[in-house]
Amino acid sequence: MLIEVRNLTKSFQKGDETITPLRDVSLDIDEREFVSLMGPSGTGKSTLLNLIAGIDKPTSGTITVNGTEITTISRSRLAKWRAVNVGYIFQTHNLIPVLTAYENVELPLLLLPFNRAERRRRVQIALEAVELLDRASHYPRQLSGGQEQRVGIARAIVTDPRVVVADEPTGDLDSATSSHILELLQRLNSDLGTTLLMVTHDADAAAVAGRQLRLDDGRLISDERNGSGHVVDAPQPKPGKGIHV
């Protein structure tokens, strides 16, 4: 098991009100899986994604990724862990505007012990994987929306992380470009064996993934694999037993 989520709850204060975007969620994700996370706005999809990516801390519950329980480690160790284990694809690509496509993709590698030659080799492979090697010296403003998103994907995979998370990666793109990006993600999963967790609103986009999780009101309500549905009954599995279908 690559990712084990147990009884995850996240709540925060907003004025006098306590908001709980995620309630007692448990799930398991295997290596090389492509999982989509669906649900209406405000149901906790991005919160769950951010918790698994290690950029947010839960109120309770645990997340174990590849044997490391990331909910208890310090902020600085978590940063190092992210650099090695997580690739993050943003909705709006979030490239650094002053850096070229090459430099943007190289950025996460600067944190790892690679020399310049190794970094160059890896960046070239990543840019080739997203078919943008010929745009390496272009700045984000010189790229189209789809190209920017592909650079964002190259940046997410360049360190060869254990898991790549994508927060609505097609949310800002037209349908043709979206299809291209989804195809690319699918290829990354099937050809390179990258474990992918993707948040999306779009049912068609979710269908590209081999497994679809659905959240509602902060709870996991269904877990389906292509061709075989499985509705998760409340209450969810007991601590220690994920819902790996």
Site of interaction with another protein (CB under 8 A): 50, 53, 55-56, 75-76, 79-80, 82-84, 86, 88, 90, 94, 96-99, 103, 107-108, 110-111, 155, 159
Give the DSSP per-residue string, the chain.
--EEEEEEEEEEEETTEEEEEEEEEEEEE-TT-EEEEE-STTSSHHHHHHHHHTSS--SEEEEEETTEETTSS-HHHHHHHHHHHEEEE-TT----TTS-HHHHHHGGGGGTT--HHHHHHHHHHHHHHTT-GGGTT--GGGS-HHHHHHHHHHHHHTT--SEEEEESTTTTS-HHHHHHHHHHHHHHHHHH--EEEEEES-HHHHHHSSEEEEEETTEEEEEEETTB--BPPSS-PPTT-----
Closest to another protein by CB, 21 vs 210, is: 21
Q: To the nearest whole angstrom, how small is the minimum distance from the Cβ of residue 241 to another protein?
A: 29
Q: To the nearest whole angstrom, how small is the minimum distance from the Cβ of residue 55 to another protein?
A: 4
Q: What is the largest CA-CA distance in the chain?
A: 54
Q: To the nearest whole angstrom, how small is the minimum distance from the Cβ of residue 78 to another protein?
A: 9
Q: Tell me the sheet residues that pair with 58.
A: none
Q: To the nearest whole angstrom, how small is the minimum distance from the Cβ of residue 22 to another protein?
A: 13
Q: To the nearest whole angstrom, how small is the minimum distance from the Cβ of residue 75 to another protein?
A: 6
Q: Using the structure block, give the residue that is written with the tokens 């279908």.
A: 245
Q: To the nearest whole angstrom, how small is the minimum distance from the Cβ of residue 104 to another protein?
A: 10
Closest to another protein by CB, 47 vs 236, is: 47
Closest to another protein by CB, 110 vs 203, is: 110
Q: To the nearest whole angstrom, how small is the minimum distance from the Cβ of residue 89 to another protein?
A: 10
Closest to another protein by CB, 155 vs 211, is: 155
Closest to another protein by CB, 141 vs 238, is: 141
Closest to another protein by CB, 50 vs 212, is: 50
Pick from 139, 140, 49: nearest CA to 94? 140
Closest to another protein by CB, 95 vs 181, is: 95
